[in-house]
């Protein structure tokens, strides 16, 4: 385990000479552990972008390692023991036993994605997905011809259900007749890469009459897009704009600026600021937004205007959609 | 014609509504200006008050605090979009929009500095400047409209009240005046609660009472007048010469000429129209006597007329028929000898006067003097003498014609004036007849009374004005006849100036 870690260890940060006098914190020595190598245009790829920016802007060195998912916790434990601080826990929401681990290692700071722990040594990067998911639901309800859409979550977890809630509410606000078929790929973080199961579920949904599928399943979503590309239908992208590869499949993508969030949190720690155990990012921070795929034949100019209007409404405290969202969907913490 | 109520409403509008509207308008302008100012002030104040929180948020990555900051600022009017950007964390910490409309906006950026004056972030605000004035106006306009409406309503209500308040008394006054002018003065004036109208009506009422008194007085005097009008013996009537009608007439007139109404009998109408025509044609003049045909036959009236108006003549006519008769009788008595009932010396003198006015008239004066009258008077008494004179006078009077008049000049002296252009022989024959008739004895209580006559005749020729002289000649001729006992003598002064005896 340690060997693996050492194999991929990357050099230590060199302290920059122009660090401000205000900066009393010790230099950061962050570590990020992946199960799959971060590909561009994916959740992990975005994290990677944020890390790169931090390295470049702040002059800190972030160690990265890719391990088998079964070795994940061991690798994290090794990183703690090797005094890496903070640890970027990118699979935190699908790794239930991480919470106890975090709490039992108060000397090390953890940056947990999509989850926050009630622990003073962890900071959760939380994305409020409801709003954009609502917009997706709205769009799905407009575009569906079978009045049946599918939702495929990576795991049955709070952040995923945060998506689902917004998505369902968006559909409901257009057409209450539209049925939402919900399925989850797995129960652990391995689900995020299980393209096979994802495509099976998607095929089943298409067979059952759904014509739009919203996969929120990380890498596994690719399986869904492939099935749709083959059998027809529509889908939504998540995390990044997926329309380049699937221009005939993707209606719109829900972009999460995980890179910005990662950079901001790293900078905060870099500045020695620790003022809460979670950071909440959403439409208000322009951290989550929706981009349409203008290449898709079903996307029109009026859709563009609709998305702009809905996006504005999500930032408008007095708007009805936002009030309904706040009422019906929990702000995921 | 101007109306009082319109004037009142006009002044009300001029002195209350217009100034109020102007003041209100000014108030609105000031309110608008101060609103704009306070808006700007408020904006600056809120930005200022949020600067600390904003700095905290952008330096410490506090999205909740940032959210509060932008929410706070978003509450300012006309702010369309607020975003709090952190340079430190290279991200937007919070962004709020207040409308989904595409509005024309002004971008404002307020830099946020940390303690060391490093720019750590910015507060970017999009403001719809265009709407600032408009929305303020829009907030004022309803109030202004309500006020204007209220003013109009007030004006309307005021007008209505004034009209209602004034129209009743004025209507009453008009009606009251109308009724009074129509003669219905028995009614009391309408009651009003306002002292102005009460006093107005009470003064009208005083007027009315005065009028009533006057009318009563007039009625009384009219009654009195009517009484005397109808009791008087004078016919009083008014003639309309244009329409040929009797306008009014008193009882005396109607007594003589019948009813003047349309229902009058035909004969009455004829009589009246005769009279009207005579008056209309100026045949009857003021102050003179006329014979008029009446229901009682032809009677004499003395007329008095007054032209009171065009075609209207007021007339009075006094029935003087009996008066004239009495006068004639009196005149007759004056010139008649009371014993013999023939003309006396006064009548003779009148005759002379008449003759002297017409000098071209030829006339014979026949003086008759009785012989032997005195002895009869002495022996048989005065009554026998009187009887004799009566009989002689009767015999002389038998010669009376239209041109021959007999007078007793006194005692037993008579004269006959023959106003004829005749031959002397005729006169001489007449003289003989007279002598013969006088010489005829007269029976008086069984005895025969006999007298003779001496007659002197004088001729007044045409052109002779000296009648006295002619009479004197006749006298002289008569004396000559008496002396010569020739019966009669003819003065021949005209021919050889001597008296011829026969």
Please give the pLDDT value at position A2.
45
Put simply, whether A51 touches B (Cβ < 8 Å) is: no
Residue B258 falls in which region: left (phi positive, over 0), alpha (psi -120 to 50) or beta: left
Per-residue pLDDT, B494: 53
pLDDT at A199: 93
A7 pLDDT higher than 70: no
- Which positions ≥6 away from A160 have C-beta within 8 Å? A153, A154, A184, A216
Are A275 and B62 inside 8 Å of each other by CB? yes
Exposed/middle/buried for A149, CB within 10 Å: 0-12, 13-18, 19+?
Answer: buried
Tokens of A275: 């003022």
Test B61 with A264 for CB contact under 8 angstroms.
yes
Q: Are A254 and A129 in contact (CB under 8 A)?
A: yes
* Residue of chain A whose Cα is closest to the Cα of B89: A264
Helix axes B51-60, B63-74, angle to 10 degrees: 150
Is residue B149 within a helix (H) or strand (E), and if so which, with residue range? Answer: helix B129-181
CB contact under 8 A, B74 and A317: yes
For B94-109, b/e burial (b = at least 16 CB within 10 A) is bbbbbbbeebebeebe
**Looking at CA atoms only, how far is residue A108 from chain B in angstroms?**
21
d(CA B386, CA B384): 5
pLDDT score recorded for residue A251: 92
* Contact state of B91 with A264 under an 8 Å Cβ cutoff: yes
Q: Taking a contact as any Cβ pair under 8 Å apart, which residues of chain B between 39 and 68 contact chain A? A: 59-64, 67
Q: Which of B462, B460, B452 is nearest to B482 (CA)?
A: B452
Handedness of CA B14, B16, B19, B20 (dihedral sign): negative
Chain B closest-CA separation from residue A68 CA (Å)? 33
Query: Using CB atoms, which residue from B89, B96, B100 is nearest to A264?
Result: B89
Cβ distance A285 to B95 less than 8 Å, yes or no, reads: yes
Are B71 and A313 a contacting pair at CB < 8 A? no
| Distance, CA of B499 to CA of B502 (rounded, Å) | 10
CB-based contact B67:B81 (threshold 8 Å): no
Does the distance separating the beta carbons of A318 and B98 come in below 8 Å? Answer: yes
Q: B333 touching A, CB under 8 A?
A: no
Contacts of A286 in chain B (CB under 8 A): 83, 91-92, 95
Q: Which helix (H) or strand (E) holds A62?
A: none
- List residues bridging with B79 in a β-sheet: B127
Chain A residues touching residue B67 (CB < 8 angstroms): 284
- pLDDT band with cut points at 50, 70 and 90 for residue A70: confident
Which residues fall within 8 angstroms of residue A249, CB to CB, at 6 or more apart? Answer: A225, A228, A229, A233, A234, A235
- Give Cα separations from B193 to B171, B197, B212 (angstroms): 15, 8, 25
**Number of C-alpha atoms within 13 angstroms, CB side, residue A241?**
10
Tokens of B38: 């306070």
Assign A159 to helix, strand or coil: helix
> Does residue B88 contact residue B121 with C-beta atoms inside 8 Å?
yes
Strand-pair partners of B302: B289, B318
Q: Tell me if chain B has a CB within 8 Å of the CB of A317.
A: yes
Instruction: Nearest chain A residue to B98 by CA: give it.
Output: A316
**Own/partner pairs for B227-230, CB < 8 Å, 24+ apart?**
none
Q: Write down the number of H helices and E strands in chain B.
A: 14, 17
B75 in contact with A, Cβ within 8 Å: no
- Of A6-20, A240-254, B68-82, B422-436, the one with minimum mean pLDDT is A6-20
* pLDDT one-digit tens code per residue, A273-329: 888 888 888 888 988 889 999 888 888 999 999 999 999 999 888 888 889 988 888
Mutation test of the interface with chain B: which of A52, A135, A285, A317, choosing the one with the most B Cβ atoms within 10 A?
Answer: A285
- In order, the DSSP letters of B23-82 are HHHHHHHHHHHHHHHHHHHHHHHHHHHTHHHHHHHHHHT-HHHHHHHHHHHHTSTTEEEE
Phi, psi of B85 (to 5 degrees): -105, 140
Structure tokens, B66: 């940032």
Q: Which two tokens stand for residue A105?
A: 């290692």
More confident residue, B128 or A167: A167
User: Tokens representing B331?
Assistant: 């005149």
Asked whether the predicted pLDDT for residue A206 surpasses 90, the reply is yes
* Cβ–Cβ pairs < 8 A, chains A and B: 76
Return the residue matching tokens 């006015």.
B357
Task: Output b/e per residue, A194-231; b: 16+ Cβ within 10 A.
Answer: bbebbbbbbbebbeeebbbbbbbbbbbbbbbbbbbbee
- The phi and psi torsions of A181 (rounded to 5 degrees) equal -95, 115
Distance between A315 CA and the closest CA of chain B, angstroms? 5
Q: Which pair of structure tokens corresponds to residue A281?
A: 């990012």
Confirm if A193 and A161 have CB atoms less than 8 A apart.
no
pTM score of the predicted model:
0.57
Max intra-chain CA distance, chain B: 199
Verify whether the Cβ–Cβ distance A279 to B61 is below 8 Å: yes
What pLDDT digit, counting tens, does each position of A98-144 carry?
A: 899 999 999 899 999 988 888 889 999 988 888 999 999 999 999 99
> Confidence class of residue A227 from pLDDT cuts 50, 70 and 90?
very high
Chain B environment of A319 (Cβ under 8 Å) = 100
Both tokens of A285, joined, read 């921070």
Q: Is the Cβ of B98 closer than 8 Å to some Cβ of chain A?
A: yes
List b or e across B261-270, with b for residues whose CB sees 16 or more CB atoms inside 10 angstroms.
eeebeeebbe
Cβ-based contacts of B93 with chain A (< 8 Å) = 285
Which of B63, B71, B99 has its CB closest to that of A285?
B63
**At A131, is the secondary structure helix, strand, or coil?**
helix
Q: Which residues of B touch A280 (CB under 8 A)?
A: 63-64
Q: How far is B111 from chain A (nearest CA, A)?
A: 18
Q: What CA dihedral angle connects B232, B235, B241 and B243, to 10 degrees?
A: 80
**Distance, CA of B235 to CA of B282 (rounded, Å):** 18
Taking contacts as CB-CB distances below 8 angstroms, the residues of chain A near B99 are: 312, 316
Secondary structure of residue A212 in the 3-state scheme? strand
- Which of chain A's residues have a Cβ under 8 Å away from the Cβ of B81? 315
C-alpha of A80 from chain center: 24
The answer to whether B256 touches B294, Cβ cutoff 8 Å, is yes
8 Å CB contact of A285 and B93: yes
Q: What is the pLDDT tens value at each position of chain B, 502 positions in all?
A: 777 778 888 888 888 888 888 888 898 888 888 888 888 888 888 888 888 899 999 888 888 889 999 998 988 888 889 999 998 888 999 999 988 888 888 899 999 998 888 899 999 999 887 777 777 778 788 888 888 888 888 888 888 888 888 888 888 888 888 887 787 777 777 777 888 888 888 888 888 888 888 888 999 998 888 888 877 888 888 888 888 888 888 888 888 888 887 777 888 888 888 888 888 888 887 878 888 888 888 888 888 888 767 788 888 888 888 888 898 899 888 888 888 888 899 999 988 888 888 888 888 999 999 888 888 888 888 888 889 889 889 888 888 888 899 999 888 899 999 988 888 888 888 888 888 888 888 888 888 888 888 999 998 888 887 888 888 988 888 888 888 887 888 887 654 444 444 5
Rounded Cα distance between B178 and B184, Å, is: 9
Contact across the interface for B67 and A284, Cβ inside 8 Å: yes
**A315 contacts on B by Cβ (under 8 Å):** 81, 95-97
Given CA atoms B252, B258, B261, B263 in this order, what sign does their dihedral have? positive
Q: Answer whether the bond into residue A86 is a cis peptide, omega within 30°.
A: yes
Tell me the nearest-neighbour CA distance from B142 into chain A, angstroms. 25
d(CA A191, CA A200): 13
Residue among A94, A102, A90, A128 at smallest CA distance from A259? A90
The single residue listed with the structure tokens 């199961």 is A197
Q: For residue B374, how many other CB atoms are within 10 A of its CB? A: 13
Q: What angle do CA A112, A113, A118 make, to 5 degrees?
A: 45
pLDDT at A20 over 70: no
In B, which residues are within 8 Å of A264 by CB distance?
61, 86, 89-91
Q: Which residues pair with B294 in a beta bridge?
A: B297
Is A264 within 8 Å of B92 when comparing Cβ atoms?
no
CB contact under 8 A, A267 and B90: yes
The three-state (H, E, C) secondary structure of B171-225, written as one string: HHHHHHHHHHHCCCCCCCCCCCCCHHHHHHHHHHHHHHHHHHHHHHHHHHHHHHH
CA distance A204 to chain B (A): 39
What is the enclosing helix (H) or strand (E) of B309? Answer: strand B297-309
């Amino acid at each position: 385990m340690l060997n693996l870690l050492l194999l991929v260890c990357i050099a230590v940060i060199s302290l920059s000479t122009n660090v401000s006098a205000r900066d009393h914190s010790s230099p950061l020595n962050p570590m990020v552990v992946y199960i799959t190598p971060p590909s561009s245009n994916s959740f992990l790829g975005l994290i990677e972008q944020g890390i790169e920016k931090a390295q470049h802007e702040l002059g800190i060195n972030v160690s990265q390692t890719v391990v088998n998912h079964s070795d994940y916790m061991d690798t994290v434990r090794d990183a703690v023991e090797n005094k890496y601080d903070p640890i970027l826990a990118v699979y935190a929401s699908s790794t239930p036993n991480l919470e106890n681990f975090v709490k039992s290692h108060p000397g090390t700071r953890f940056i947990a994605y999509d989850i926050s722990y009630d622990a003073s040594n962890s900071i959760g990067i939380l994305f409020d997905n409801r709003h954009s998911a609502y917009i997706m639901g709205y769009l799905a309800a407009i575009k569906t011809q079978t009045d049946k859409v599918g939702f495929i979550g990576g795991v049955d977890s709070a952040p995923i259900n945060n998506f689902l809630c917004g998505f369902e509410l968006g559909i409901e606000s257009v057409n209450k007749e539209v049925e939402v078929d919900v399925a989850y790929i797995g129960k652990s973080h391995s689900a995020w890469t299980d393209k096979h199961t994802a495509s099976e579920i998607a095929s089943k949904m298409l067979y059952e009459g759904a014509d739009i599928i919203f996969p929120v399943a990380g890498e596994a979503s690719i399986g869904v897009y492939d099935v749709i590309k083959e059998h027809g239908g529509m889908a939504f992208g998540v995390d990044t704009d997926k329309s380049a590869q699937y221009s005939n499949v993707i209606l719109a993508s829900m972009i999460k600026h995980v890179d910005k969030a990662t950079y901001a949190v790293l900078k905060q720690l870099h500045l020695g600021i620790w003022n809460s155990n979670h950071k909440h990012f959403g439409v208000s921070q322009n951290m989550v937004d929706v981009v349409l795929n203008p290449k898709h034949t079903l996307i029109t100019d009026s859709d563009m205007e609709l998305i702009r209007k809905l996006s504005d409404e999500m930032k408008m405290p007095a708007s009805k959609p936002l009030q309904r969202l706040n009422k019906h969907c929990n702000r995921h913490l | 014609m101007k109306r009082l109520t319109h004037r009142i409403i006009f002044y009300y509008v001029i002195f209350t509504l217009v100034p109020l509207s102007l003041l209100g308008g000014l108030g609105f302008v000031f309110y608008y200006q101060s609103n704009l100012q306070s808006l700007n002030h408020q904006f600056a104040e809120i930005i200022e008050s949020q600067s600390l929180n904003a700095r905290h948020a952008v330096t410490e990555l506090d999205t909740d605090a940032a959210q509060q900051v932008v929410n706070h600022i978003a509450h300012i009017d006309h702010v369309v979009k607020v975003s709090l950007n952190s340079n430190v964390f290279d991200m937007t910490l919070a962004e709020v929009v207040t409308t989904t409309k595409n509005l024309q906006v002004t971008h404002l950026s307020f830099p946020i500095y940390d303690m060391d004056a490093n720019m750590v972030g910015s507060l970017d605000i999009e403001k719809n400047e265009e709407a600032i004035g408009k929305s303020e106006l829009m907030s004022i306009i309803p109030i202004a409209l309500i006020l204007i409406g209220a003013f109009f309503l007030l004006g309307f209500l005021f007008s209505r009240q004034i009209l209602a308040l004034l129209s009743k008394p004025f209507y009453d006054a008009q009606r009251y005046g109308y009724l009074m002018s129509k003669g219905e003065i028995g009614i009391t004036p309408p009651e009003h609660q306002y002292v102005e109208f009460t006093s107005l009506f009470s003064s009208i009422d005083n007027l009315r009472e005065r009028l009533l008194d006057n009318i009563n007085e007039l009625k009384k005097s009219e009654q009195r007048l009517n009484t005397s009008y109808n009791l008087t013996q004078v016919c009083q009537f008014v003639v309309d010469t244009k329409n040929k009608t009797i306008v009014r007439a008193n009882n005396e007139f109607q007594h003589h000429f019948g009813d003047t109404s349309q229902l009058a009998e035909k004969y009455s109408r004829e009589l009246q129209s005769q009279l009207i025509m005579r008056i209309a044609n100026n045949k009857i003049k003021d102050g003179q006597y006329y014979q008029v045909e009446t229901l009682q036959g032809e009677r004499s009236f003395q007329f008095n007329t007054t032209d009171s108006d065009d075609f209207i003549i007021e007339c009075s006519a006094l029935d003087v028929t009996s008066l004239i008769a009495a006068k004639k009788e009196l005149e007759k008595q004056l010139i008649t000898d009371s014993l013999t009932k023939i003309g006396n010396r006064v009548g003779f003198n009148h005759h002379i006067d008449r003759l002297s006015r017409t000098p071209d008239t030829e006339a014979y004066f026949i003086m008759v003097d009785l012989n032997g009258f005195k002895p009869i008077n002495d022996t048989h008494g005065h009554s026998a003498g009187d009887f004799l004179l009566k009989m002689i006078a009767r015999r002389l009077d038998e010669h009376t014609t239209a041109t021959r008049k007999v007078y007793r000049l006194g005692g037993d002296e008579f004269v006959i004036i023959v106003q004829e252009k005749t031959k002397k022989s005729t006169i001489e024959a007449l003289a003989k007849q007279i002598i013969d008739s006088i010489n005829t004895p007269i029976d008086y209580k069984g005895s025969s009374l006999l007298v003779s006559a001496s007659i002197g005749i004088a001729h007044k020729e045409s052109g002779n004005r000296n009648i006295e002289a002619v009479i004197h000649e006749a006298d002289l001729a008569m004396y000559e006849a008496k002396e010569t006992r020739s019966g009669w003598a003819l003065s021949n002064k005209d021919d050889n100036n001597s008296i011829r005896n026969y």
